[in-house]
Chain A
Amino acid sequence: MSIIVDHVNYIYGADTALAVNALKDINLVIPDGQFIGLIGHTGSGKSTLVQHLNGLLRPTSGGIYYNGEDIFEKGYNLKNLRSKVGLVFQYPEHQLFEIDVFSDVCFGPKNLGLDKKEIELRAYKALKQVGIEDEFFYQSPFDLSGGQKRRVAIAGVLAMNPDVLILDEPTAGLDPKGRDEILDQISALREETGKTVILVSHSMEDVAKYVDRLIVMNHGSIIFDDEPKEVFKHYKQLEEIGLAAPQVTYIMHELKECGLSVDVNATTVEEARISILNALKNKVRK
Chain B
Amino acid sequence: MDIIKTKKLVFEYIRRDEEGNVEGITRAVDEVNLNVKQGEFIAILGHNGSGKSTLAKHINAILSPTEGSVWVDGKDTSDEENIWEIRQKAGMVFQNPDNQIIGQVVEEDVGFGPENMGIPTKEIWERVEESLKAVGMYEYRKYSPNKLSGGQKQRVSIAGVIAMHPKCIILDEPTAMLDPVGRKEVIRAVRALNQVEGVTIVLITHYMEEVIYADRVFVMEQGHIEMEGTPKEIFTQVDRLKSLRLDVPQVTLLAHELRMSGLSIPEGILTTKELMEALGLK
Chain A residues within 8 Å of B, Cβ to Cβ: 40-43, 145-147, 169, 172-179, 202, 204-205, 239, 242-244, 246-248, 250-251, 254-255, 258-260, 269-270, 272-273, 276-277, 280
Contact = CB atoms under 8 A, between A and B. Distances in A.
Interface of B: 46-49, 95, 149-151, 173, 176-182, 206, 208-209, 242, 245-247, 249-251, 253-254, 257-258, 261, 263, 272, 275-276, 279, 281-282
12 contacts: A41-B149, A145-B48, A147-B48, A176-B206, A176-B245, A242-B180, A248-B251, A251-B251, A255-B272, A270-B257, A273-B254, A273-B261
Nearest to B173: A173
The 9 tightest CB contacts between A and B, nearest first, are A177-B245, A176-B247, A42-B150, A146-B48, A175-B47, A247-B250, A244-B180, A242-B181, A258-B281
Nearest to B242: A177
B206 A174 contact: yes
A273 B250 CA distance: 11
Contacts of A255: 272, 275-276, 279, 281
B246 A176 contact: yes
A204 B183 CA distance: 13
A270 B242 CA distance: 17
A204 B180 contact: yes
Nearest to B249: A247
Contact of B48 (A43, A178, A247, A260): A178
Contacts of A250: 272
A145 B181 contact: no
Contacts of B245: 175-178
Nearest to B97: A42
A246 B180 CA distance: 10
Nearest to B209: A247
| A42, A260, A277, most chain B CB atoms within 10 A | A42
B26 to A, nearest CB: 9
Contacts of A244: 180-181
A258 to B, nearest CB: 4
Nearest to B48: A146
Name which of A41, A178, A239, A260 has the most chain B CB atoms within 10 A of its CB. A41
Contacts of B247: 176-177
Contacts of B173: 173
Which of B95, B176, B254 counts the most chain A CB atoms within 10 A?
B254
A145 B247 CA distance: 19
A243 B261 contact: no
Given A251-B254, A258-B276, 15 more contacts: A41-B149, A41-B179, A41-B182, A42-B151, A42-B177, A145-B49, A172-B177, A173-B173, A173-B176, A176-B247, A178-B47, A242-B180, A247-B250, A260-B279, A280-B279
A6 B247 CA distance: 42
